[in-house]
Amino acid sequence: MTRVLVSQEILEEALEEFDGTGIEVDLRRDHRPLPAAELRAAAADYDGLICLLTDRIDAEFLAACPRLRVVANVAVGFDNIDVAAATRAGVAVTNTPRVLTDATADLAFTLLLSTARRVPEGDAFLRAGKYTHWRIKQEQMGVDVFGATLGLFGLGQIGRAVARRARGFDMTVLYHDVQRLPAEDERTLGVTYVEFDELLARSDFVSVHSPLTDSTRHRFDAAAFAKMKPSAMLINTARGPIVDEAALAAALRDGVIAGAGLDVFEREPEVDPQLLQLRERVVLLPHLGSATGTTRREMCRMAARNVRDALSGKRPENLVNP
Ligand code: DGY
């Protein structure tokens, strides 16, 4: 019998993808990840695994699961999986690209607008009964988004979707990535390639859209913040460890940069206590990027299809092994 383990709660209708396949699926209905040793023990007798970004799939896990043929992450990012070790072990790894692009780009733009216009501060002010009269010197005075310069660090699918949204705000869009787009695509998208330091120096908003890799880890550190405008704001909906969180908290506290909108954190779900203390122009969200019902449903279905196909001898659509 071919068996699949779903490591944590998912949207269960996705399991319809296995109907009629004869594949047996065991769903853990818990919404918390298992500690590493328990996950290893739980998955030991399965051929396929559907997991979330909070499950760590490393060489030790793979060694403990000799039957495993496929690991499907319900996320586009897969830095929680040691893909090289999986490839050596003959295990296919898949992710869920495209289906979450627009939801995540919407959230990145929401964070940018909320940080620039201090939306949570205004909401808290009103609920605290402090809105007694309209005044010109508004307590939550913000900065303009329309016509500003947006710097995109990473121009994959989500970065491009953010660039398209920025057009509606008449923004100048710069980008930096390991790969430069063909000139024709740059023109169509209305983006200009610049080196990293120029991106930092010229942008009013820097939005992070790269994967977490050895070369992007802590790419935004104290030295990077020192190169940004004192009025600039950092938006991160990608992965927390791309930003040195302690350095960011210090840069915000000392006025090196003006604000930050963060959906991801270095030691998620922990958030640096120094960041939690900063309330002005700092907006913090619990990793909501893809959190719309439609998107999360599609992600779960895509992961299920990837496992089903891999275990039925087909090449899964979203294979990430090289
Ligand atoms: C991803 O897919 O990588 C997001 O972080 C969660 O949707």
Is the backbone peptide bond immediately before 66 cis, with ω within 30 degrees of 0?
A: no
Q: Establish whether residue 173 lines the binding site of ligand 1, counting it when its CB lies within 6 angstroms of any ligand atom.
A: no
Instruction: Tell me the sheet residues that pair with 233.
Output: 205, 259
Mutating to test ligand 1, I would choose from 73, 102, 236, 290 the residue with most ligand atoms within 8 A of its C-beta, which is 290
Q: Are residues 152 and 162 in the same domain?
A: yes
Rg of the Cα atoms in the chain: 21
Sheet holding 172-176, edge to edge: 191-193, 172-176, 149-153, 205-208, 233-236, 259-262, 282-284
Q: Are residues 105 and 188 in the same domain?
A: yes
Count of domains forming the chain: 2
Among 56, 217, 268, 297, the one annotated catalytic: 268
CA–centroid distance, 76 to ligand 1, in Å, is 5
Any catalytic annotation for residue 133?
no
Specify if 304 maps to a domain: yes
Q: Are residues 155 and 207 in the same domain?
A: yes
Ligand 1, atom 6, lies closest to the CA of: 75
* 200, burial (CB in 10 Å: exposed 0-12, middle 13-18, buried 19+): buried
Q: Are residues 171 and 238 in the same domain?
A: yes
pLDDT band at 322 (very low <50, low <70, confident <90, very high): very high
What pLDDT, on the 0 to 100 scale, is given for residue 241? 98
Are 321 and 93 contacting, i.e. CB atoms less than 8 angstroms apart? yes
Q: What average pLDDT does the segment 142-152 reach? A: 98
Q: Establish whether residue 256 lines the binding site of ligand 1, counting it when its CB lies within 6 angstroms of any ligand atom.
A: no
Q: Are residues 13 and 143 in the same domain?
A: no
Q: What average pLDDT does the segment 235-259 reach? A: 98
pLDDT band at 319 (very low <50, low <70, confident <90, very high): very high
Q: What is the pLDDT of residues 151-185, one digit of tens each?
A: 999 999 999 999 999 999 999 999 999 999 999 99
Instruction: Provide the residue range defining the domain that includes 55.
Output: 3-99+293-311
Token code pair at residue 249: 């908290």
Q: Are residues 117 and 71 in the same domain?
A: no
Ligand 1, atom 3, lies closest to the CA of: 77
Any catalytic annotation for residue 287?
yes
The CATH number linked to 110 is: 3.40.50.720
Q: Are residues 22 and 149 in the same domain?
A: no
The position carrying tokens 């209708």 is 13
Q: Give the C-alpha separation, 252 to 225, whole Å.
A: 9
Q: Are residues 69 and 13 in the same domain?
A: yes
pLDDT band at 278 (very low <50, low <70, confident <90, very high): very high
Please report, as a single letter, which amino acid is at residue 76.
Answer: V
ipTM attached to this prediction: 0.97
Q: Are residues 128 and 95 in the same domain?
A: no
Angle between helices 119-127 and 101-116 (to 10 degrees): 60
What pLDDT, on the 0 to 100 scale, is given for residue 304? 98
Residues 6+ apart with CB under 8 A from 309: 315, 316, 317
Among 287, 301, 305, 308, the one annotated catalytic: 287
Q: Establish whether residue 289 lines the binding site of ligand 1, counting it when its CB lies within 6 angstroms of any ligand atom.
A: yes
pLDDT band at 97 (very low <50, low <70, confident <90, very high): very high
Q: Are residues 135 and 280 in the same domain?
A: yes
Are 230 and 256 contacting, i.e. CB atoms less than 8 angstroms apart? yes
Q: Are residues 141 and 235 in the same domain?
A: yes
Q: What is the largest CA-CA distance in the chain?
A: 70
Q: Positive or negative CA dihedral for 238, 242, 248, 251?
A: negative
Q: Which atom of ligand 1 approaches the CA of 73 most closely?
A: 2
Q: Establish whether residue 318 lines the binding site of ligand 1, counting it when its CB lies within 6 angstroms of any ligand atom.
A: no
Q: Give the C-alpha separation, 318 to 299, whole Å.
A: 11
Mutating to test ligand 1, I would choose from 76, 96, 210 the residue with most ligand atoms within 8 A of its C-beta, which is 76
Specify if 172 maps to a domain: yes
Ligand 1, atom 2, lies closest to the CA of: 75
State CA 3 to chain mean position distance: 30
What pLDDT, on the 0 to 100 scale, is given for residue 78? 98
The contacts found for 166-172 with CB under 8 angstroms, 24 or more apart, are 166/109, 169/145, 170/146, 171/145, 171/146, 171/147, 172/147, 172/148
Specify if 111 maps to a domain: yes
CA–centroid distance, 119 to ligand 1, in Å, is 24
CA–centroid distance, 140 to ligand 1, in Å, is 31
pLDDT band at 112 (very low <50, low <70, confident <90, very high): very high
